[in-house]
Structure 1
Amino acid sequence: MDGPQSCRIKHEDAEELIDLMEENRQTGELLEAVEKHQDTHGQKSMSPSFQSRPEVHFTCPQCGKSFSCDQSLNLHMKFHRGTKPYACDQCDKIFTLKTNLNEHMKIHTAKMLYTCGQCGTIFTDEGNLNEHMKSHVVEMPFTCGHCGKRFTYKGNFNEHMKIHTGERPYACDQCGKRFTHKGNLNKHIIVHTGEKPHSCDQCGKKFKLKHILNDHMKIHTGEMPYMCDQCGTSFRKLDTFRLHLRYHSGVRPFSCDQCGKHFFTSVALKYHVKVHAKVKPHVCSLCGKSFMELSGLKKHQKRHSGVKNHVCFACGNTFFDGAQLKRHQRVHTGEKPYDCPHCDKRFSQPGHLKTHEKIHSGEK
């Protein structure tokens, strides 16, 4: 039966071809995968017409991409459907392609893992890590005169400078709140709509943004892919890992113009500036207590309601908010992310570090 089924191959061979195609996905050509398969098995070409110019018969109805084999189209459709039939039996992570699962399994079987100290990416082969490190060695001609941060592109540099100048050109037309970056405005607008389109298929919890759902899913899988090579602490989220590395370095790039105090993050600086201004616009309707941030008010209101929906899976204790839970979990993990810049002591809570630093300063 010649015709549309011009790729008449055994089922086992078809699966191998699909794997070859994925391994060779930089070119994405079925013909090249077929030729590799034939060379490996010492087979002759399938037919003169297929060898000279593959005739396209199969078209994706969603994006219009064409394929010369139905196996190729079926593989492609998995990406549209989000189908992930290949599951890791050690951590339950799932994959669209078998080759991706095989690559992932190396993490569990490898005797040694190699972690990038700059972004936290994990490799099973030292050569792959060395190759990856080249991506961090890029020319960064634009340097911020305030905090020393460097940028490859002028556009990114200009966006960063708004943090120091206080420029907030993007305003919400519903509440007037202004933002430094347009992306932050778009995220903020969801607060007004109340939309939470991304839901967890494990516990049903809903989220406004997809990347927050992705971070949440790691709670169920237990995945903590970012490991600090200085103290061995692992993290679920990349931004938390990067902040942790900053604590080790002791670098506090954000400084207050009014008192000169330095901070690890722009968020901490922003909060501190409000201390000088004594602005507390968010007031609790039940007790009259006021807060500088809306998030602070929301946390406070949970105490009135008595709802403690953040549960520690290790001991069952419940907490009003995620920050309390995270601080508590350090009891179980032994994590001590706060380093004293004067000695080698480390602490699990920032308050404990501040108390300790008074020993060095002589402050009582």
Structure 2
Amino acid sequence: MSNLTIHMRTHIGEKPFACEYCEKAFSTKGNQIRHIWTHTGEKPFTCGYCNKTFRQNADMERHKRIHTGEKPFTCEYCKKNFSDKSNLMGHMRTHTGEKPFACEYCEKVFPTKRNLIRHICTHTGGSPFTCEYCKKNFSDVKNDNSYAYSYRRKTIFSQKSKLIKHKRTHTGEKPFACEYCEKTFSRKWTVTSHIRTHTGEKPFTCEYCKRIFSDKSNLIKHKLTHTGGKAKKKKRIL
């Protein structure tokens, strides 16, 4: 696949690579694989200094600078050095005055995503994502003074996505429809699993006996019969 084809998707919004576990889709196969690792827990990149593992090579390289002290990113205005490019970009806005992050509740703007999220908490009472129906908060914040745990973009996206899914338990919204029958679902992975009852597709194979399954959770439960473990029951929301 050419770089031009991949680039064109940024303009047309095409995302042909869908996650089998949730409703997210991606413009490249590589981004899809890295996202799937957030579901499977796979972390293939290992730090050579402390053996800590990471899902992405870029995260590992950023972490290694803690050990090496390397700061390869330099501010063009004051020559201050940074180990992380995002920190450099936030710092440079102190020189330029740029404030690209706007609050959805009021007219205030901020130079960094972290500052915006801290501010949003003054509106929501501690969490940037609060359910309007039951006031449940979606955040990785451990307490009001430790918001640094969840300022990173990946965490923020994750919590907002969880809120959207949670609100469907109140509204009853089921935006994902089966193409073979009239049944609808609140989550994409459930309709994907359901469609296999029509197509007969069984993409999940047991590594021990080669038995195949249409659903990932059924494969996991089956593998416990080989390993001697016990399955944990999880309530599914259709």
TM-score (norm 1): 0.31
Name which one, 1 or 2, has greater alpha-carbon Rg. Answer: 1
- Structure number with greater CO (CA < 8 Å, separation at least 6) is 2
TM-score (norm 2): 0.44
